Amino acid sequence: MPTFLDWTRGGGAGESAPCVICGKPAICRSPGGKPVHKVCAEAWTEQRNARKAVA
């Protein structure tokens, strides 16, 4: 099931910095303040949830 994160609160934007997942420049910020593309975070969250379901 596709994961869609809601970053309307907490998330934001800032200077271009390497995405913590793919390493390409990202201006998006996660709610935790890390530079990351929203699509990368969604894919990562999806994988993590899938792993959790197995374990």
Interacting residue ranges for Zn ion, rule: CB under 5 A: 19, 21-22, 37, 40
User: Is residue 34 classed exposed, middle or buried when 0-12, 13-18 and 19+ CB atoms within 10 A define those classes?
Assistant: middle
Nearer to Zn ion, 29 or 40 (CB): 40
Q: Considering the complex, what minimum distance in angstroms separates the CB of residue 11 from Zn ion?
A: 14
Nearer to Zn ion, 24 or 49 (CB): 24
Nearer to Zn ion, 31 or 55 (CB): 31
Contacts of 14 (CB under 8 A, 6+ apart): 27, 29, 35
